[in-house]
Amino acid sequence: MDELGAHAAALVARRPRDARLRRVGTSRGGLPLWLLSVGHGSRQALVVAGPHANEPVGGATVLRLAGRVLAGRGGGADADVTWNLLLCLDPDGSRRNEGWLKGPYTLGHYFRDFFRPGFLEQPEWLPDGAAAAALPETRALLELQDELRPFVQCSLHGVDVGGGFVEVTRELPGLARRVGHAAARLGIPRELGPYDPLYWPRLGPAVYRIPPPRRSGLAAAITEAAVESTWFHPQRHGTVTAVVEAPMWGVDAVSDGSAPADPDGVLRTVSRALREDIRLMERLLERVRPYLADVPDADRLLAPVDDYLLVCPGLADAWDPDTDDGTLRPLPPLTNAHLAALRIAGRRLALRTAGLLHRLVRGAGHDRARVLPELDRFIEQGCADYHDNLRARWIPVARQAEYQTRVVLAVCELAGRHARVRSRSGEPGWGTRAALPIQRE
């Protein structure tokens, strides 16, 4: 994070008339939330990097965006735009991922040093609504949205294993074609059936519409994003939000839209594996928990473990064709891309749990429960499945960021064509256009 802020400050020093850096908030751990603004347009675009702690590509993307806009290479995006680039929404969580961010970039290294907060500590979510937002990072983002009234917001996310896709709060005609072009040019597989928007409307290949939030239990909130969020909060200002997902390790199978030969057989295998893996993690956690009282950050590491153990049994039931008792939501028609994504997701949830337990044991400074050999074996086997059977391949950071940059520029251009809204930069005299509110679906 220090390096990211230093790069932004150096850019401002080189172009002080065209770029500005200001502190818009402070994290729970006392770290600054920096906003880099580029340009002097009357219409505001907001780009949020680092909303999830284990998805660092957004930091590289916002610096790339800033350089491109300053060089006059913003593509077809409206020249009358000020780009407001939040360098990292969760700097505390990002610091907890520095163990693997320093390299080497291997799946084993990533999962053993993985960190992502529990659901209730992720700053994009508003489980109790905006008025009750508890996290300072969340409040800072809400205040920024209400100050800027952006016509477009892009939230920069990463997929650890899989492909690229985009989720939008409103349809942007032409976006699927632009996403496909960027992915093809850069060798990024497109996710044609990702796990996150499994039940959401498909607007085109690798583009999905985020449904309006609804009240639900914690498990549904975690697995379906069925909760108020900072994606929908600025809709009152006419904002369209795009969640731009870029993969770290690409898997070509997620782009296979063909019909599967035996979908039920694959679903049984995936759901059975998830149940077995989670039962193992529950047993290991039971052995480890008595030794965690003095482990620094134990509560922060246990919160996501408890989340994963909460949701995984329900997911296994939802995916298993033999457990449908009429109360479960039916799966949509599945392609090979969907089945690959579900296989990746089931493995991911178990590997993240194992990685967090691995960190907890290392943090204790001893392995009195004697679980590290089992955790190491489990992580190695899971990573081997990704590599050997799903052919997961590392995508260089420069390509991840370039893909995300091109998609963000496309979103901005298309949003500018289809909406004219009032936005402001926080500077006097800016933002004089009347707002056209978008009706919530």
Q: Report which residue type is found at 135.
A: L
Residue 159 pairs in a beta bridge with 247
273 and 401 share a domain?
no
Which contiguous run of DSSP H or E holds residue 265?
helix 263-288
Q: How far apart are the first and last CA of the chain?
A: 38
Spell out the per-residue pLDDT of the chain, length 441, in tens. 588 999 999 999 999 999 999 999 999 999 999 999 999 999 999 999 999 999 999 999 999 999 999 998 877 666 789 999 999 999 999 999 999 998 899 999 999 999 999 999 999 999 888 988 999 999 999 999 999 999 999 999 999 999 999 999 999 999 999 999 999 999 999 999 999 999 999 999 999 999 988 765 555 555 555 568 999 999 999 999 999 999 999 999 999 999 999 999 999 999 999 999 999 999 999 999 999 988 888 999 999 999 999 999 999 999 999 987 667 788 999 999 999 999 999 999 999 999 999 999 999 999 999 999 999 999 999 999 999 999 999 999 999 999 999 999 999 999 998 755 444 443 433 332 222 222 222
- State the Cα–Cα distance between residues 147 and 144, nearest whole angstrom: 5
Q: Which domain holds residue 312?
A: 263-391
- State the helix-helix crossing angle for 372-384 and 336-364, rounded to 10 degrees: 160
Q: Report which residue type is found at 357.
A: L
Alpha helices in 336-396 (DSSP H): 336-364, 372-384
340 and 243 share a domain?
no
312 and 410 share a domain?
no
350 and 412 share a domain?
no
16 and 151 share a domain?
yes
158 and 238 share a domain?
yes
Does some domain include residue 346? yes
18 and 146 share a domain?
yes
Distances in Å between the Cα of 62 and the Cα atoms of 111, 181, 311, 329, 394 are: 25, 21, 33, 38, 21
Does some domain include residue 424? no
Distances in Å between the Cα of 26 and the Cα atoms of 88, 98, 139, 254 are: 11, 20, 10, 38
- C-beta of residue 107 within 8 angstroms of C-beta of residue 100: no
Does some domain include residue 146? yes
Domain count, the chain: 2
192 and 233 share a domain?
yes
Does some domain include residue 431? no
Does some domain include residue 125? yes
- State the Cα–Cα distance between residues 197 and 234, nearest whole angstrom: 21
Which contiguous run of DSSP H or E holds residue 202?
strand 202-204
Does some domain include residue 160? yes
413 and 383 share a domain?
no
Say what the pTM is.
Answer: 0.91
241 and 378 share a domain?
no
